A = this chain, B = another copy of it.
C-alpha cells in the first residue's frame, strides 16, 4: 500500500452498482461537478484522484436508510439498496498535513451525494507525515498516571454535579468531600465552563486551594479537569490560570471547540487535555450516517487529546456495549507507534461494571468515572470510591464481586443499593 495515501473505510448503502457509487464518491473528491471540466486530464486524475482500494459487499435492503438518494433511471424493478464496505484512498499531496482539510476530505461533501442512501466513515489510516506536524497527545496514559500517582488500576473519578449552579465555594466544598473520599480524578461538567455564577478563575482558585492543601497533607494530588472550553484567547488564558494554580488538567468540549482551536491549545498546553465528546451522538447514532469512533478518535488524537470519553458498559445512553468496547480498544491501539489516549469510561457507572469491563478489554488503562455511583453510595462518597476500587481489585484477581463483597463492606453496600436499582 502506498504510504503517502490516506485510507478511509466507509459503510455505503446505494441503489446504484457499487463500483459506480464508490467512483462518484471518489470523483466528488477530485472534480465534483456534473459535467467534465477542461482541466481534469487523465494524468491529473491519476496523481490527485481518490482511488477505490477495496469493495466488500454486505447485505441489501428494500428501503433506503436516508432520504434523497436517486435510483438509476429507467430500471424496471424497484431498486434494492446494497450495503458495502469500501476503502478509498486519497493522496497526502492533496492536502498536506492539514487536519481541518483532512477532515474536509474524508468527512466532507460526500455525505450529501444523491448516489447513495447512507455513508459512514468507519476507520482511517494516516501516513506518518501527519505525525511530523501534529505532536499528538502530550501526556497520554503514562503522563496522566504520573500526574495522578495512580498505577496498575483504573484512575477513579467523578463529575461535579449539579452540572450548573454551584458557586466556586460550593464546588470547592464538594472537592473537599471527594478528596476526603480519596478520589483520583474530578472533572467539571461539560455545561460548566466560565459562567457568571462560577467564573473559571475563581473556581480554579477555590478548588486548587483544596487540592493543593490535600496534596500537602497526604502527598496525593487529585487531578481536576477544568472545563476551559471557550473562545481561543480565553482558553489559553484559562489554561495558564489552571497551570499557575498548580492544576494538572484542562478539559475541552472537542466537537464544539473544533479541530483548529484544539490543536492550537495542544501546542500551547503544559497540561493533559481531557477530551469530552459531547455532541458525539449527533455524529454517530444513525447507523449509516456520520462517523464511527475508530475514525473519530484518530482525528482527535492527532489534534492532541490525552483522554477521550467512550461511555461505559450498561451506560444510561443509547450506546450498546460492543460499541463501547470497540472504542476503548481503539484509544489503546497505537498510532504512528504511540499517540495513546486514555479512554474515559463514564455514564451510569458504579462498581458493578468493573468485572465485565476488565474481562472484555483486559486493561486497567482507563479512567472510570461514576457520578451517583460515588456520591449516592449509602456509606458516603468515601465508600463509593472504595467500592469501585474494590470492584476492580476483584476483577483483576478474577474473584466475583459477590465473593469479594463478603469481606469488603463498601462493595457490599454498592451491590445492595445499585445492583437493585439497575437490575
Closest approach, in angstroms, between the C-beta of A19 and any C-beta of chain B?
19
Given contacts A37-B376, A68-B320, A256-B259, A29 and B191 within 8 Å (CB-CB):
yes
The answer to whether A229 touches B261, judged by C-beta atoms less than 8 angstroms apart, is no
The answer to whether A230 touches B93, judged by C-beta atoms less than 8 angstroms apart, is no
Residues of chain B lying within 8 A (CB to CB) of residue A45: 162, 165
Task: State how many copies of this chain the complex holds.
Answer: 2
Given contacts A104-B190, A111-B282, A318-B69, A32 and B93 within 8 Å (CB-CB):
no
In the complex, which residues 222-258 of chain A have their Cβ closer than 8 Å to any Cβ of chain B? 227, 229-235, 253, 255-258
A36 close to chain B: CB less than 8 A: yes
Interface residues on A, range: 35 or more
How many Å lie between the Cα of A282 and that of B259 in the bound state? 16
A337 close to chain B: CB less than 8 A: no
Query: A44 is contacted by which of B165, B253, B261, B375 (Cβ under 8 Å)?
Result: B165
The answer to whether B48 touches A99, judged by C-beta atoms less than 8 angstroms apart, is no
Closest approach, in angstroms, between the C-beta of A225 and any C-beta of chain B?
14
Interface string of A157-196 (1 = CB under 8 A from B): 0010111111000100010000000000000011101111
Minimal Cβ-Cβ distance residue in B for A109: B278
- Most chain B beta carbons < 10 A, residue from A69, A166, A189: A189
Closest approach, in angstroms, between the C-beta of A368 and any C-beta of chain B?
15
The answer to whether A112 touches B285, judged by C-beta atoms less than 8 angstroms apart, is yes
Residues of chain B lying within 8 A (CB to CB) of residue A291: 282
Residues of chain B lying within 8 A (CB to CB) of residue A234: 98
A107 close to chain B: CB less than 8 A: yes
Query: A283 is contacted by which of B94, B98, B230, B282 (Cβ under 8 Å)?
Result: B282
Residues of chain B lying within 8 A (CB to CB) of residue A281: 109-112, 289
How many Å lie between the Cα of A34 and that of B347 in the bound state? 9
The answer to whether B230 touches A260, judged by C-beta atoms less than 8 angstroms apart, is yes
Query: A161 is contacted by which of B31, B67, B164, B286 (Cβ under 8 Å)?
Result: B31
Closest approach, in angstroms, between the C-beta of A122 and any C-beta of chain B?
13
The answer to whether B170 touches A39, judged by C-beta atoms less than 8 angstroms apart, is yes
Residues of chain B lying within 8 A (CB to CB) of residue A113: 316-318
Given contacts A38-B375, A317-B112, A29 and B104 within 8 Å (CB-CB):
no
Interface string of A72-94 (1 = CB under 8 A from B): 00000000000000000001011
Interface string of A347-370 (1 = CB under 8 A from B): 110000000000000000000000
The answer to whether B104 touches A66, judged by C-beta atoms less than 8 angstroms apart, is no
How many Å lie between the Cα of A234 and that of B261 in the bound state? 12
A1 close to chain B: CB less than 8 A: no
Interface string of A124-163 (1 = CB under 8 A from B): 0000000000000000000000000000000000010111
The answer to whether B286 touches A33, judged by C-beta atoms less than 8 angstroms apart, is no
Given contacts A232-B232, A253-B104, A35 and B191 within 8 Å (CB-CB):
no
The answer to whether A191 touches B39, judged by C-beta atoms less than 8 angstroms apart, is no
Residues of chain B lying within 8 A (CB to CB) of residue A190: 101, 104, 108-109
In the complex, which residues 334-351 of chain A have their Cβ closer than 8 Å to any Cβ of chain B? 347-348
The answer to whether B285 touches A289, judged by C-beta atoms less than 8 angstroms apart, is yes
Query: A258 is contacted by which of B163, B258, B421 (Cβ under 8 Å)?
Result: B258
A30 close to chain B: CB less than 8 A: yes
28 contacts across the A-B interface (CB closer than 8 A): A29-B163, A30-B162, A32-B189, A33-B375, A37-B371, A37-B375, A38-B375, A40-B162, A45-B165, A47-B165, A67-B320, A68-B320, A101-B193, A101-B227, A103-B255, A104-B229, A104-B278, A110-B281, A112-B318, A113-B317, A229-B260, A230-B260, A232-B263, A232-B264, A233-B264, A257-B260, A258-B259, A289-B289
Closest 4 CB pairs of A and B: A258-B258, A68-B318, A111-B281, A260-B261
